[in-house]
Amino acid sequence: MKQALYHQFTTNKRAGKKSFAVLIDPDKVDNVKIEQLIRLGTEAKVDYFFVGGSLVISTHLDECIRQIKADCKIPVVLFPGSPSQVSKYADALLYLSLISGRNPELLIGQHVISAPFVKNSGLEIMPTGYMVIDGGAPTTVSYISNATPIPADKNEIAMCTAMAGEMLGMKLIYMDAGSGAKRPITETMIEKVAASIEIPMIIGGGITEPEKAYRNCKAGADVIVVGNAIEKDPSLIKEIGAAVHSAPVNA
């Protein structure tokens, strides 16, 4: 099985190097917008494009990824809201299991149904413990997943969930307050979870300012994901990229 990108995640973690991922929701971009994101992403040395969303209605996922792959060298990682969001044109797939919820379909059910398809895609598969944290208002992910998010102040639950995910063999933990969350995940929670696990940790949901991205990195996040704020103001790519990349090594 391919492991090139995962190797990059772990090497960066060991070196204390923080990464920045721009989330592209195929529903919200056209060719012109993608072109702009590629240009700004390349200038800001964005580490990854994550592509996907909890609810993708449009059908141009393949086309969107092919355009990114044709025009830049930034790796494309699928962040699928459902098994239908798998494209062989991407570099890797976050193989998400919603370990913060108790919905068996999102823990294992959909994986079983789509297993042959996913395996034959040839994508690099990254088993990811996906944890939704309450972001102050219902988000698409909390509604669609039909699972209760972890309360924002229950650091111990988040810690134990991440530890269990790691021991079950997950290769990444993705803590997400949900797209457009009113309140992003607290640094205290990030710090406590980071101290409890060895695997790389991705943090997203409601990050709108470079300072918050920087503080999250200092608290122990390895990859910062921003979608919504960049959709509204693409110039933030530069500022958030600079903040993430300037976070102290081995923070």
Binding site for ligand 1GP (CB under 6 A): 23, 176, 179-181, 204-207, 225-229
Cβ nearer to ligand 1GP, comparing 162 with 207: 207
Which residues, listed in sequence order, are joined to residue 77 by a DSSP beta bridge? 50, 92
Which H or E run contains 49? Answer: strand 48-51
Task: Give, in degrees to the nearest 5, the angle at Cα 104 between 101 and 106.
Answer: 70
Min dist. Cβ of residue 87 to ligand 1GP (A):
18
Q: Could you tell me the smallest distance in angstroms from the CB atom of residue 58 to ligand 1GP? A: 17
Q: Which is nearer to ligand 1GP, 25 or 91 (CB)?
A: 25
Nearest distance in Å: CB 227, ligand 1GP: 3
DSSP state of 234: T
CA proximity to 227, closest of 206, 213, 242: 206
Q: Among residues 3 and 219, whose Cβ is nearest to ligand 1GP?
A: 219
133 CB neighbour count, 10 Å cutoff = 30
Q: From CA 5, how far away is CA 34, in angstroms rounded?
A: 22
In angstroms, what CA-CA distances link 101 with 75, 130, 137, 184, 234?
29, 9, 17, 19, 32
- Give least dist CB 61 to ligand 1GP, A: 16
Rounded CA separation 66/78 (Å): 13
Distance CA 218, CA 70 (A): 34
For residue 181, the minimal CB distance to ligand 1GP (Å) is 6
CB 162 within 8 A of CB 176: no
Based on CB atoms, which residue is closest to ligand 1GP, 123 or 181?
181
CB of 120 to ligand 1GP, least distance (A): 26
Residue nearer to ligand 1GP on the CB measure, 156 or 233: 233
**Closer to ligand 1GP by Cβ: residue 110 or 208:** 208
